[in-house]
Amino acid sequence: MTILLLDLALIVGLARASGALARRIGQPPVVGEILAGILLGPTLLGHQLPRTLFPPDVRPLLNVLAVVGVATFMFLVGLELDGRLLRGMARLATSVTVGAMVLPLVLGAALGCLLARGRPGGADAAFVMFMAVAMSVTAFPVLAHILTARGLGRTTLGGIALSSAAACDVLAWGLLAVVVAFATGDGFRVRTLLLVPYVLLMITVVRPLLRRWFTGRRAVGPDGPAKDVLVVALSGLLASAAFTEWIGLHYIFGAFLLGAVMPRGSGDALRVDLNRQLEPVSTHLLPVYFVLAGLSVDLSGMDARAVGNLLVIIVVAVSGKFLGAFAGARLQGLDSRRAAVLGTLLNTRGLTELVILGIGRQLGLLDGALYSSLVVMAVVTTALTGPALHWLCPASSSELAMDGPAPLVPASSSPARTDPPARTDPAARTDPAAPPSRPARSRQSAGS
C-alpha cells in the first residue's frame, strides 16, 4: 500500500508536469503523459529501476484506478456529444466513417502480411486481422480533447469527427471480438449480440426515465448538483461499463453510451455541472493508464529492421486514415480543406489505440518490439494532429466550423450570390443542401 500511494503521487505529479509541457508546445496532454511513461520505462532507465519503482504486484492495482479514470472520462465525452449538431449530416458522417474504416482495414491487413514474415506464428488469421483493426482505430477520447482545445468541440465539423470516430471504434471493437475468438479458440461470444438490444434499451427506456426523473429537479444548486444525481450518474456509468465489458466489448463503450443518452435541452445545466464535478476524477486517474502503457515500451533494443518496420507502420497508419476519411468527405461534396481536417482529426490515436495494443499483447499477438513500435506510432500520429490543423488553418480553427460563415459545400455546387447574405438560423447554415452564401463585393457589403 505504501508503494501504491507513492507511485500514485509520482504518476500524478509527473503527468501534470509533462502534460503542461506538451500543451505549451501545442500538443495534447496525452502525448506528454505517454512520453512520461516511456521515460520511466526500460527505454531510458533499464529494466531493474522501473521494476523497483513500479513492482509487478502493484501494477494491477494501478490498472484498476486507470480503468475508473478512463470510464469516467468516456462518460463525460458522451455527455458532451450533442446530436443536434449532426442534423442533416447523416450521409456525410456515414461516408466519412466508411472511408476511414475500409481503407485502413485493407492496408492494415497488407501490413500484417508484411510484418508476419519471420514471425514464429507466421501470417495467421488472428495476427493479420489484429493489425487491420489496429490501423483502423481513432482515439475517441483524445480527439474530444483536441476538438475542445481547438474550439471545434460544439461545431458540426467536430460532431462529424466525433461520430465517425465513435462508429469506427465500435466497428473496430466488434472486429476485435472476432480476433479474440480466433486467437483464443473460444469461439464467438453469443452474449456480444446483446449489444443491439442494450443500445435500444438505453435509448427507448433509460433515457426517457432519466429525463422524467430530472424534470422538476433543481439541476444546479449553490454547491453543485444534488448528491443523488451525482450518485446516479457515477454508479450508472460504472454499471453500463461493466455490462459492455461482460458481453465482450470494452467498458469504454458502456460508459460513453450512458453519457450519450443523458437528457438534453432542459438538462444542459445539469450536464455542465456534472462535467465540473466528475472531470477531476478522470483528470487525475487517466494519466495512470498512459504511464502504465508507456512502462511497457522498450525502444533500447531497436535495430535497423525494427526502425524500418516502424516507418512503414507510421506511413500505413497515417495514409490509410487520412485518405479514407478525405475521400469519404469529398464524395459527399465537402470542400477539400474541411475534408483534410476530418482526415487529420481521424488520424488521432492514443488512448483507444493503447487499449487495443494492450489486448493484443495479452493475447500473445504482439512481441515487445512490435508493441513498442505501435505505441510510438500512436504517439506520432497524435502529435501530428496539432501541427497539421495549424497548417490547414493557421489563423483560427473557428474558421473551419461548418456552422460558421464559411460555406459548407464548394461554390461550384450552386450559383454564386452577389447580394449580402441574409441572417439565418444555425440549423440552416449547417444544412448540406443549402447553397453557400458569399458577401457581395461592394461598399454596401463592407458596411454591413
Please tell me whether residues 366 and 425 are part of one structural domain: no
Phi and psi at 248, nearest 5°, equal 110, -10
Answer yes or no: are the C-beta atoms of 270 and 220 closer than 8 Å. yes
Is position 21 within any domain?
A: yes
Q: What is the pLDDT of residue 186?
A: 54
The mean pLDDT value of the chain amounts to: 77
* Through-space distance between the first and last CA atoms of the chain, rounded to whole angstroms: 67
DSSP 205: I
Average pLDDT score over residue span 243-256: 82
Is position 409 within any domain?
A: no
Residue 100 to residues 95, 170, 346: CA-CA distances in angstroms?
A: 9, 13, 7
Pick the residue with more confidence: 233 or 414? 233
Residue 299 lies in domain: 2-400
Please tell me whether residues 270 and 302 are part of one structural domain: yes
Return the SS3 of 58: coil
Q: Is the pLDDT of residue 345 over 50?
A: yes
Q: Worst-scoring range by mean pLDDT, 52-61, 146-155, 227-236, 379-388?
A: 146-155
Pairwise CA distance, residues 367 & 212, whole Å: 51
Q: Taking the CA atoms of 299, 310, 327 and 412 in sequence, report the sign of the dihedral they define.
A: positive
Please tell me whether residues 160 and 192 are part of one structural domain: yes
Q: Give the burial class of 20: count Cβ atoms within 10 A of its Cβ; 0-12 exposed, 13-18 middle, 19 or more buried.
A: exposed
Q: Which residues contact 39 (CB under 8 A, 6 or more apart)?
A: 45, 294
Q: What is the pLDDT of residue 288?
A: 87
Is position 109 within any domain?
A: yes
Please tell me whether residues 386 and 426 are part of one structural domain: no
Q: All 3 cell numbers of residue 421?
A: 447574405
The beta-strand segments (E) located in 279-353 are none
Q: Give the burial class of 259: count Cβ atoms within 10 A of its Cβ; 0-12 exposed, 13-18 middle, 19 or more buried.
A: buried
The CATH number of whichever domain residue 262 belongs to comes to 1.20.1530.20
Is position 410 within any domain?
A: no
Please tell me whether residues 385 and 425 are part of one structural domain: no
Please tell me whether residues 425 and 278 are part of one structural domain: no
> Taking the model in full, what pTM does it have?
0.72
Q: What is the pLDDT of residues 153-178, one digit of tens each?
A: 667 788 788 888 878 877 887 788 77
Answer yes or no: are the C-beta atoms of 50 and 41 closer than 8 Å. yes
Average pLDDT score over residue span 24-53: 82
Q: Give the burial class of 413: count Cβ atoms within 10 A of its Cβ; 0-12 exposed, 13-18 middle, 19 or more buried.
A: middle
Q: Is the pLDDT of residue 362 over 60?
A: yes
Is position 158 within any domain?
A: yes
Please tell me whether residues 385 and 431 are part of one structural domain: no
Q: Worst-scoring range by mean pLDDT, 152-166, 365-379, 405-419?
A: 405-419
Q: Is the pLDDT of residue 430 over 60?
A: no
Is position 407 within any domain?
A: no
Over pLDDT 70: what percentage of the chain? 77
Pairwise CA distance, residues 135 & 103, whole Å: 9
Q: How confident is the model at residue 246 (pLDDT cuts 50, 70, 90)?
A: confident
Pick the residue with more confidence: 425 or 244? 244
Q: How confident is the model at residue 26 (pLDDT cuts 50, 70, 90)?
A: confident
Please tell me whether residues 219 and 329 are part of one structural domain: yes
Q: How confident is the model at residue 424 (pLDDT cuts 50, 70, 90)?
A: very low
Average pLDDT score over residue span 189-199: 78
Q: How confident is the model at residue 420 (pLDDT cuts 50, 70, 90)?
A: very low
- Which is nearest to 374 in space by CA: 131, 175, 173, 171? 131
Q: Is the pLDDT of residue 447 over 80?
A: no
Q: Is the pLDDT of residue 412 over 60?
A: no
Q: What is the pLDDT of residues 70-124, one digit of tens each?
A: 889 878 877 876 666 556 567 888 899 899 999 999 999 999 988 887 666 656 7
Please tell me whether residues 146 and 70 are part of one structural domain: yes
Is position 363 within any domain?
A: yes
Number of folded domains in the chain? 2
Q: Is the pLDDT of residue 142 over 60?
A: yes
Please tell me whether residues 37 and 164 are part of one structural domain: yes
Q: Is the pLDDT of residue 391 over 50?
A: yes
Q: Is the pLDDT of residue 365 over 60?
A: yes
DSSP 419: S
Pairwise CA distance, residues 214 & 232, whole Å: 11
Q: What is the pLDDT of residue 348?
A: 87
Q: Which long-range contacts (CB under 8 A, 24 or more apart) does 235-239 make?
A: 237/71, 237/72, 237/74, 237/75, 238/68, 238/71
Find the largest Cα–Cα distance for the chain.
73
Please tell me whether residues 363 and 443 are part of one structural domain: no
Average pLDDT score over residue span 278-291: 83
Residue 90 to residues 84, 211, 259, 314, 410: CA-CA distances in angstroms?
A: 11, 25, 21, 30, 19
Average pLDDT score over residue span 310-316: 93
Please tell me whether residues 335 and 445 are part of one structural domain: no
Q: What is the pLDDT of residue 237?
A: 92
- Which is nearest to 234 in space by CA: 400, 419, 79, 31? 79
Is position 286 within any domain?
A: yes
